[in-house]
Amino acid sequence: MCAMSLAIAKSCGPGRPKDLEKRAAILDAAKRLFPRSGFEGTSMDAIANEAGVSKLTVYSHFTDKETLFFAAIRERCEQQMPATLFDVDVKGPVRGQLEAIARAFFALVTAPESIALHRLLTSGTGSATKLTQLFWDAGPQLVQVGFQQFLRKEVEAGQLEIVDLARAASQFFALLKGELHARLLCGCSTPMSERDVDAHVRATVEFFLRAYSPCPGRAATFDL
């Protein structure tokens, strides 16, 4: 467990059960304010006001602003891409499961809040540098790990043939981002229509399956 995860665990107990509604309100406020005002521009006072709680209540749930930032990013990713999304149905077609993961990921990374947060983290100013590792641990890393576990189970079931799981997962998400994500970051594009998103997801999954579908007579191996 990373240091920030330990900090979150300490902030949540032991002791009297926390008010879950207030905690949810604080996280919702943080998810709105951090992308809008940046990390340095978002104070714990502002989050408390936005959540309708006292500053003391914010600190009773989250030890500091970095802990709250980590928790807000983690919850947003888990809401959009819950762990159950990576559950494997070995009797079902892998294509459908890949498309479900792809749609959830594409919706997550192209959301206005995600684009705003990405610009903040890549600005290279203030605390952006130290925040990038927090962001990676709370969001992208969890998604990568979940998807790699999914791929491993599909390989074991004979649905896919992949030697390097980490590389395959990285390729899948990079293909999904594509040119559109870069254009959104630059502010020179508008969100795709639902029809275009569907075509993009299907094309990406088709490309991925052409690379990693099992070939007859060749055993599937992968890194442990």
Residues 92 and 162 placed together within one structural domain of the fold: yes
177-188 residue pLDDT tens: 988 888 888 877
183-213 residue pLDDT tens: 888 877 777 889 999 999 999 999 999 999 9
Q: Which of 69-73, 125-129, 220-224 has the lowest mean pLDDT?
A: 220-224
Residues 68 and 178 placed together within one structural domain of the fold: no
pLDDT tops 60 at residue 1: no
Residue with tokens 């006292």: 54
Query: Is residue 153 helix, strand or coil?
Result: helix
Residues 67 and 95 placed together within one structural domain of the fold: no
Residue 172 placed within a domain:
yes
Residue 125: which pLDDT band, with cuts at 50, 70 and 90? low
Residues 68 and 123 placed together within one structural domain of the fold: no
d(CA 50, CA 26): 8
13: left (phi over 0), alpha (psi -120 to 50) or beta: left
pLDDT tops 70 at residue 150: yes
Per-residue pLDDT averaged across 156-161, rounded? Answer: 93
Residues 30 and 97 placed together within one structural domain of the fold: no
Q: Examine the fold and report which residue of 20, 46, 74 is the final residue of a domain before the chain moves on.
A: 74
pLDDT tops 90 at residue 16: no
pTM (two decimals): 0.75
Dihedral sign of CA atoms 51, 54, 55, 56 in order: negative
Q: Examine the fold and report which residue of 57, 74, 91 is the final residue of a domain before the chain moves on.
A: 74
Residues 26 and 99 placed together within one structural domain of the fold: no
Nearest alpha carbon to residue 172 among 99, 83, 71, 86: 99
Q: Examine the fold and report which residue of 74, 99, 116 is the final residue of a domain before the chain moves on.
A: 74
Residue 48 placed within a domain:
yes
Residues 109 and 189 placed together within one structural domain of the fold: yes
Could you list the residue range(s) of the whole structural domain that residue 47 is in?
3-74
In sequence order, the 6+-apart residues with CB closer than 8 A to the CB of 168 are 151, 162, 208, 211, 212
75-115 residue pLDDT tens: 888 888 888 999 988 778 899 999 999 999 999 888 888 88
Domain of residue 27, CATH code? 1.10.10.60
Q: How many domains does the chain have?
A: 2
